[in-house]
Amino acid sequence: MSPDRYSALALPQPQSPAEERELVRAFLSGLEKLFRRQDNWTFLRPLLITVEHCVRCQTCSEACHIFTGSGRQEIYRPTYRSEILRRLYFKYIQHRRWQGAVELDWRTVSNLAELAYRCNLCRRCAQACPMGADNGLVAHELRKLFSQEMGIAPKELHAAGSLVQLRTGSTTGMNPAAARDNFDFIDQEMTEKTGIPIKTPWDVEGADVLLIHNAGEVLAWPENPGAFAVMLTAAGVSWTLSSDLTAYDAVNYGLWYDDAQFARVALRQVEAARKLKVKRIVIGECGHAHKALIVIADRLLPSDLNLPRESSMTLMRDLVLSGRLPVDPARNAFPVTLHDPCNMTRLMGLTEPQRDVLRAVCPDIREMSPNRTDNYCCGGGSGFALMSGKTFLDWRLEIAGARKMEQVLAAFAGCMDPSIPKYICAPCSNCKGQFRDLLARRGLWKSNRIFYGGLAELVVNAMRDAKPGFLEWEWR
């Protein structure tokens, strides 16, 4: 059962009236908890503001890349799912009937579960709302209701995601020994490619920097953590990785659907940093990991665990602009456009350090429009880049990613000739995954030589102390 022809959850249809009633009962139980301070103190205030004060003026609709990217289909309007929740809230929690009719049956529950996964949680709609309502938050809270009360969540995020991370250390399933092996391999590669001897340090007590990568990079784009190792080694930074559970994988999928899973992962990451007595934690190129550990976890952490936490964007800016990494921008003589990950920009205000770095290492930068805090989500946000489901991949590439691809093509207008290689700089692992799939779906690497990658790779490609040709322009 799905409101469109796609499915993120593949929920089974109830087999009997008793199962239908149980589904509705469990949903109502979760709905009550969503509005109780004991159960949902984490987001009750903004949720109440939104549910009680959204005037459904639809000002947010045109800000939503999914609504506009779908050709303005009603079910993707930011207020659509919120309106169902709002009516349920007034009917079943407030017992007020004049707020609009709604029927609660298993179809409504099933549709809401799917609709919670038709929003990237990018909060561009909230930015446009004159009331301060936040329809992105409503999708987030619905996801929590389904996960925390009913155990319903996409398998990529929960069963094969945060549960695996808490059990093995990483959502990839890599245990600490496997992670070390992979980094040994990356070290060898980097040493050969750059001519700079690289040996990734592990569990170094008292290091200045505990670097935490999205572990997916290690498997899908090893040149990114490799580039960090090259930069930090060449600049003489005192740094380390941690082999503690969850501390060598910066991801925190709970951010998207479950407060308990979120808190568990965040606490373990900072606990590892405290154990190593590092001076600060630096998050690699992963947008949601930035927001999870630097912003959302902030008030959860007791003072002894509230260690300095920093973005790799600012670290790279400091290394490049201070001259500790001499660079030759001529080595990056191709058009580059910068994608702004929502989690770093609109949700953290981090817009300039990555641009400072890019200006220092690239001579031909083409800004997308709009950009910075007004950017469009890539369509892979809130875990979608990991999710394919039965037909979900089609939805996230054709609908959720449509506006972003329009932006990319506009940014590269005038240089679409395949003889000119072009680079989408996406300093976020999930965004990179989405770009990989978007470019492949549209054949833009083969036909127009549009490539994608991180920011660290561009820095190392421009480093004077490294052998030229770090970027290999090989599709993967």
Binders of another protein among 238-297, rule CB under 8 A? 245, 258, 260-261, 263-264, 267-268, 295-297
Q: Least distance from C-beta 378 to another protein, angstroms?
A: 18
Question: Beta-carbon neighbour count of residue 248 at 10 Å?
Answer: 28
Confirm or reject binding of residue 107 to another protein (CB under 8 A). Answer: no
Is 142 within 8 Å of 85 (Cβ atoms)?
yes
Q: Which one of 160-168, 211-219, 395-403, 466-474 is the stretch in contact with another protein (CB under 8 A)?
A: 160-168
Residues 301-340 that bind another protein (CB under 8 A): 302
Identify the residue among 13, 19, 29, 328 touching another protein (CB under 8 A).
29
Q: Least distance from C-beta 344 to another protein, angstroms?
A: 10
Q: Least distance from C-beta 367 to another protein, angstroms?
A: 17
For another protein, which is the closer residue by CB, 127 or 191? Answer: 127
For another protein, which is the closer residue by CB, 292 or 319? Answer: 292
Amino acid at 431: C
Q: Least distance from C-beta 126 to another protein, angstroms?
A: 6
Q: Least distance from C-beta 293 to another protein, angstroms?
A: 12
Confirm or reject binding of residue 33 to another protein (CB under 8 A). Answer: yes
Nearest CA to 343 out of 452, 440, 214 is that of: 214
For another protein, which is the closer residue by CB, 25 or 199? Answer: 25
Confirm or reject binding of residue 7 to another protein (CB under 8 A). Answer: no
Nearest CA to 289 out of 312, 272, 308 is that of: 312
Confirm or reject binding of residue 171 to another protein (CB under 8 A). Answer: no
Q: Which one of 163-171, 195-203, 317-325, 424-432 is the stretch in contact with another protein (CB under 8 A)?
A: 163-171
Confirm or reject binding of residue 177 to another protein (CB under 8 A). Answer: no
Residues 348-377 that bind another protein (CB under 8 A): 348-349, 351, 373
Q: Least distance from C-beta 285 to another protein, angstroms?
A: 19
Confirm or reject binding of residue 53 to another protein (CB under 8 A). Answer: yes
Identify the residue among 10, 48, 177, 440 touching another protein (CB under 8 A).
48
Q: Report the 3 state secondary structure along 68-90.
A: HHCCCCHHHCHHHHHHHHHHHHH
Residues 6+ apart with CB under 8 A from 303: none
Is 426 within 8 Å of 401 (Cβ atoms)?
no
Confirm or reject binding of residue 127 to another protein (CB under 8 A). Answer: yes
CB environment 186-213: b (16+ within 10 A), e (fewer): bbeebbebbebebebeebbeebebbbbb
Q: Which one of 33-41, 228-236, 381-389, 467-475 is the stretch in contact with another protein (CB under 8 A)?
A: 33-41
Between 68 and 87, how does the x/- string for binding to another protein read (CB under 8 A)?
------x--x-x---x----
Confirm or reject binding of residue 346 to another protein (CB under 8 A). Answer: yes
Q: Least distance from C-beta 430 to another protein, angstroms?
A: 19
Q: Which structure tokens are listed for 380?
A: 């892979």
Q: In what order do the strands lie in the sheet with 450-453?
A: 336-338, 422-425, 450-453
Rounded distance, CA 455 to CA 338, Å?
9
Question: Beta-carbon neighbour count of residue 393 at 10 Å?
Answer: 15
For another protein, which is the closer residue by CB, 100 or 418? Answer: 100
Rounded distance, CA 350 to CA 428, Å?
13
Identify the residue among 99, 111, 388, 391 touching another protein (CB under 8 A).
99
Q: Least distance from C-beta 435 to another protein, angstroms?
A: 23
# residues contacting another protein (CB under 8 A): 79
Q: Which one of 3-11, 34-42, 315-323, 434-442 is the stretch in contact with another protein (CB under 8 A)?
A: 34-42
For another protein, which is the closer residue by CB, 89 or 435? Answer: 89
Rounded distance, CA 210 to CA 42, Å?
28
Residues 71-80: contacts with CB under 8 Å, at least 24 apart: 73/4, 75/3, 75/4, 75/115, 75/118, 76/118, 76/399, 78/119, 78/125, 78/135, 78/136, 79/54, 79/135, 80/115
Q: Which one of 25-33, 188-196, 363-371, 396-404 is the stretch in contact with another protein (CB under 8 A)?
A: 25-33
Confirm or reject binding of residue 12 to another protein (CB under 8 A). Answer: no
Q: Least distance from C-beta 354 to another protein, angstroms?
A: 15
Identify the residue among 18, 98, 205, 323 touching another protein (CB under 8 A).
98
For another protein, which is the closer residue by CB, 167 or 467? Answer: 167
Q: Which one of 53-61, 216-224, 408-416, 422-430 is the stretch in contact with another protein (CB under 8 A)?
A: 53-61
Q: Least distance from C-beta 75 to another protein, angstroms?
A: 12
Token pair 């083409």 in the structure block, residue: 366
